[in-house]
Amino acid sequence: TRIVVLISGSGSNLQAIIDHCQSGDIQGDIVSVISNKADAFGLTRAERANIPTQVLSHKEFDSREAYDEQLAKIIDSCNPDLVVLAGFMRILTPSLVQKFKGKMLNIHPSLLPKYQGLNTHQRAIDANDEYHGASVHFVTEELDGGPVVVQAKVPILPNDTADVLAQRVHKQEHVIYPLVVKWFSEHRLTMEADYAVFDNDPL
């Protein structure tokens, strides 16, 4: 499985996926890491693992469409089976999403469909929720709205700050994202219409 990972920041989810590729747990190779930010620490993580990196800054483009067109070209040139969004902080155009439908995954730090968008940890605390978490989902045109594959749930504890809660969620992200990528790499996971389907009895 040829995997392309898109990042904008720290890349701790990228790191988790790198680790699981290196251990052989994921039957795949990350063939490229693409960032819209030149100073993303995830690029350093990729370089340390000898993975080719590319930076495509959105600042050099007049429109979202023009950026995504170029991004699609770069992704295409990697010939990927799977595109993994791991903290890629950009809204994708419908045409980019359409192009990689069924083979693009994202991780979102909430128990979707709750708290689409930003500041999810603070919003969950403010709502006095008992639980919070993260969701891995297929990407569709609806922002943070595609079919969910797996969720990890964590308790919200008294006196939690958004930062403390975010750390608790992040730990679980590093468990569920590699797991989903592993399933995909084993051809056990597909997107059918509006559903994610897991085949637990592979040949």
Site string for ligand GRF, 82-111 (x = CB under 6 A): ----xx-------------------xxx--
Supply the DSSP string of 75-136, one letter for each residue: HHHT--SEEEESS--SPPPHHHHHHTTTSEEEEESSSTTSS-SS-HHHHHHHTT-SEEEEEE
Q: What is the SS3 assignment for 194?
A: coil
Pair type for strands 53-55 and 189-192: unpaired
Q: Segment near ligand GRF (CB under 6 A), from 12-20, 96-104, 156-164, 184-192?
A: 12-20
Q: Considering the rule CB under 6 A, would residue 9 count as an interface residue with ligand GRF?
A: yes
- Known binding residue 64? Answer is yes
Q: Which of residues 37-56 bind ligand GRF (CB under 6 A)?
A: 42
Nearest approach in angstroms of CB 120 to ligand GRF is 8
Conformational region of residue 108, where left means phi above 0, alpha means psi within -120 to 50, and beta covers everything else: beta
Task: Measure the CA–CA gap between 178 and 107, rounded to whole angstroms.
Answer: 11
Binding-site annotation: residue ranges for (6R)-10-formyltetrahydrofolate: 64, 89-92, 106
Binding positions: 11-13, 64, 89-92, 106
- Residues near ligand GRF, by CB under 6 A: 7, 9-14, 42, 86-87, 107-109, 134, 170, 173
